[in-house]
Structure 1
Amino acid sequence: MASIPGFGPVVPRSKTKVGVLSRFGRDDRSSFSLWFWEIDRFLLLFVTLLISIGLIAVAAASPAAAERYSGGGVKVNPLHYFYMQLAWVVISVPVMLFISTWPKDVARRVALSGAILFAFMLVLVPFFGEEVNGARRWVGWGAARLQPSEFLKPMFVVGLAWLLSLKAQDRTLPLVPISGMITGLIALFLMKQPDFGQTVIFAAIWMTLLLLSGVNSRIIGWLVGGGVAGIVCAYLFYDVATKRINDFIFAEGDTYQTDMAHATLTAGGLFGTGPGGGQMKFRLPEAHTDYIFSVIGEEFGLIACFAIAALYIAIVVRVFVKLLEEEDMFLLLASAGLATQFGLQALINMAVNVQLAPSKGMTLPFISYGGSSMLALSIGFGLLLAFTRRNPYLSRSPYVSRGGGI
């Protein structure tokens, strides 16, 4: 056995052990290993936690939803919505992971193509859409039915990010009016459904990306003023907005849903009644979708609600902290826009449940029941994971630039 003076004998390492370790080490250049070291594992952990929480929450809300939709000789299985959500998770998670493996330019091109496709489908909704609960937001039939606006959101973010990133190449391009016209057309078709909540999200994403792209502060001021004027006009001339705002501010009309959501949320106190112990949820409409946050409050307590809110905040903060070192304008805008869309949707849903915002019919990301919502959010988060990947080998080679060129 060989030895080194002063250090004793050299014990050979097991070849099998070295081989196993090298398969997951940084020196392994296989596709899976590169993906594993490039992916933001904190974001992956956070979204896995949200999906797991969502399955537990849907299982808790499923008996209430099943009782509500049973009738006319039809008996819905108490765990029907849990089983359906589990099936959608099994479909959606692989889609998210697959998209996260795409090179950034491939993810951009696919998202731009998707933006065109789902924008076209959005135009078709008023003519061929299916009406559900007084709103025409769906196209297709049966299991093939989907909500185009849900899928358009992440694609819109990427498309808008690409458009505004062109400013770095030619500052004379009229990108603000072009992007404004696109956003305005989308808002017009959303309001015809009607879907005022989604309209607010699309407008907020546009404003956020304009701000991050470095447009003149005077333009931002005009846009803020225009936004306020738009809300006033919506209140005066758009019946849906008028009703929602009056119901929220002046307690006019039927406020049963929001009142019951608040009562259900606080019924469990700090620690909740325990899984399956909630009773208020049986009186709550849409307990498994729009108001699932209230069901969580009743059965798992307000502490659980605070923890979920903190998890959403952690995802958004994590993305923005990573972007502090990002030099590519497109990647910065796309990642920031996707994080904004994700965080804003969660904020609006939770605000409705605690009576800080009027009812909007918006799902809680990765927690509320819904096939279109789960799949669309998985696509969006897959794009976010793809855009926030960082190559661990870039800093090792003097021939590789930050932009990935050679």
Structure 2
Amino acid sequence: MTGPVVPRSKAVVSRQNTRDKHPQLGLWFWEIDRVLLLLVTLLISIGIIAVAAASPAAAERYSEGTVRFDQYHYLYRQLVWVVLSVPVMLIISTMPKERARRMALVLACIFLFCLALVPILGSEVNGAKRWIGSGFAKFQPSEFLKPCFTVGMAWLLSLKVQDRTLPVVPLSALLMGVIAVLLMKQPDFGQTVIFGTVWLALLLLSGVSLRIMGWLFGAGVAGVIGAYLFYDTATRRINDFIFQTGDTYQTDMAHATLTAGGLLGTGPGGGEMKFRLPEAHTDYIFSVIGEEFGLIACLGIALLYVAIVVRVFVKLLDEEDQFQLLAAAGLTTQFGVQAMINMAVNTQLAPSKGMTLPFISYGGSSMLALSLGFGLLLAFTRRNPYLVRSPYVFKWSGK
């Protein structure tokens, strides 16, 4: 026996007709989190403006001999990467959740293999071997592995719901250990911190006991102490940051550039400190924004990142699917921690690291990898709005 038919408004009928004419596009448009899409669009737009501001400084620094770069050389290249990356993000966001998960798992295996090849085939830049390939085909495997690792770890830990006897925690620890060793050999301490933070966050969300989390926290502290004692890169960075024993030019200049413009900045193109700043277009672009657009603009950007993180976690409060909960939370944690580390370095709250500011810093690998990760996040946060807003329609039809 069926219940009474619940009448639908003309607006609902009109939206239904629109989806019937364009089923795939209509379904994507009504299921996608348009607030998240708007926020990431704002970040990408701000990134283009920021790279335009930093490009003259970077072009002057990297022009040498007969090789002279146009002052907007890096802006033009960034526009190319944006044109390539945004469609990647949108296409991935249209995928059904199961297909997006399978794609991420396959890519995780591929990029983990590439990461293992870095010590053998990688090219060295600024004393670190993190890249594979050359020219336009040069990429950083760890950047692409991050979102795929997060989804893979979420899938592995979600299996515990189906069978609690599966040793998913030891397996995840083994995988994390392998990745940490490969990253530390490059060396890339900053990426190791991000991978480890995401892993711990997923363990906590998956329901691992507080006793195990306590042991893992203790192991993490021991690992940091061990890195300080026996890992030269970590020893140097920590000593430079805490005891000011080494070269602190980069972080000192980043802080000076950040505060040079005051609250409102010098105006677009008016910055002078940026020409003395290393990596103005990548690691320290946040400082360039501070000089030319002011500390208020920097605060606004920080709030944009906070808004994205809060938006996702609030949306996940009523999520029932364990995998989708872990995957979306993990991708958001990765995104937020990377932004936090970059801004902390620019404000002298953390030691110098080669960490880009998501969707704002210049970089092909970074832009493509972030688009891959955010596309996955958009795919895993898609929801049918009628299941939430019109529950009675489905109730009476027996669904």
**Shorter-chain-normalised TM-score: which range?**
over 0.9
Q: Which amino acid in structure 2 is aligned with residue 125 of structure 1? A: V
1:397 to 376, 394, 397: 394
Specify every segment of 5 or more residues in structure 1 that has no aligned partner in the other structure, as ranges. 1-17
Say which SS state the counterpart of residue 283 (structure 2) adopts: coil
Contact 1:112/1:158 (<8 A) preserved = yes
Aligned pair in 2 of structure 1 residues 249, 96: CA closer, same or farther (>3 Å)?
A: same
Question: Does residue 35 of structure 2 align to residue 39 of structure 1?
Answer: no
Q: Distance in 2 between matches of 1:28 and 1:244?
A: 58
The equivalent residue for 2:8 is none
1:72 to 62, 65, 69: 65
Q: Which amino acid in structure 1 is aligned with residue 356 of structure 2? A: T
The equivalent residue for 1:117 is 110
More displaced, 386-395 or 58-67?
386-395
Question: Does residue 26 of structure 2 align to residue 30 of structure 1?
Answer: no
Question: TM-score, normalised to structure 2's length?
Answer: 0.94
- CA drift of 1:335 comes to 0.1
2:331 to 314, 331, 338: 338
- CA drift of 1:111 comes to 0.2
- CA drift of 1:393 comes to 3.7
The 4+ residue runs of structure 1 with deviation greater than 6 A are none
Q: Distance in 2 between matches of 1:22 and 1:331?
A: 27
Which whole-Å deviations, capped at 9, do the CAs of 1:263-317 have from their partners, x for residues lacking one?
Answer: 0000000000000000000000000000000000000000000000000000000
Contact 2:313/2:329 (<8 A) preserved = yes
Q: Distance in 2 between matches of 1:312 and 1:230?
A: 29
Contact 1:24/1:33 (<8 A) preserved = no
Q: Distance in 1 between matches of 2:265 and 2:375?
A: 33
The equivalent residue for 1:272 is 265
Residue identity (%)? 74
Matches within 5 A, 1:178-327: 178-327=171-320
Which whole-Å deviations, capped at 9, do the CAs of 1:221-275 have from their partners, x for residues lacking one?
Answer: 1111111000000000000000000000001111100000000000000000000
Aligned pair in 2 of structure 1 residues 169, 399: CA closer, same or farther (>3 Å)?
A: farther
More displaced, 320-329 or 173-182?
173-182
Contact 1:39/1:385 (<8 A) preserved = yes
Question: Does residue 150 of structure 2 align to residue 126 of structure 1?
Answer: no
1:138 to 106, 118, 131: 131
- CA drift of 1:174 comes to 1.4
The equivalent residue for 2:81 is 88
Q: Distance in 1 between matches of 2:261 and 2:181?
A: 41
Say which SS state the counterpart of residue 397 (structure 1) adopts: helix
- CA drift of 1:95 comes to 0.5
- CA drift of 1:392 comes to 2.3
Question: Does residue 347 of structure 2 align to residue 350 of structure 1?
Answer: no
Contact 1:276/1:299 (<8 A) preserved = yes
Question: TM-score, normalised to structure 1's length?
Answer: 0.92
Contact 2:48/2:360 (<8 A) preserved = yes
Aligned length: 385
Aligned pair in 2 of structure 1 residues 22, 162: CA closer, same or farther (>3 Å)?
A: closer
Aligned pair in 2 of structure 1 residues 183, 399: CA closer, same or farther (>3 Å)?
A: farther
- CA drift of 1:72 comes to 1.2
The equivalent residue for 2:151 is 158
Q: Distance in 1 between matches of 2:386 and 2:108?
A: 33
The equivalent residue for 1:360 is 353
Contact 2:19/2:25 (<8 A) preserved = no
Which whole-Å deviations, capped at 9, do the CAs of 1:168-202 have from their partners, x for residues lacking one?
Answer: 01111111111001001000000000000000000
Say which SS state the counterpart of residue 130 (structure 2) adopts: strand
- CA drift of 1:30 comes to 1.3
- CA drift of 1:22 comes to 5.2
Say which SS state the counterpart of residue 129 (structure 2) adopts: strand
Which whole-Å deviations, capped at 9, do the CAs of 1:136-190 have from their partners, x for residues lacking one?
Answer: 0000111001000000000000000000000101111111111001001000000
RMSD (CA atoms): 1.8
Q: Which amino acid in structure 2 is aligned with residue 225 of structure 1? A: G
Q: Distance in 2 between matches of 1:336 and 1:226?
A: 23
Q: Which amino acid in structure 1 is aligned with residue 325 of structure 2? A: L
Aligned pair in 2 of structure 1 residues 22, 208: CA closer, same or farther (>3 Å)?
A: closer
Q: Distance in 1 between matches of 2:222 and 2:216?
A: 10
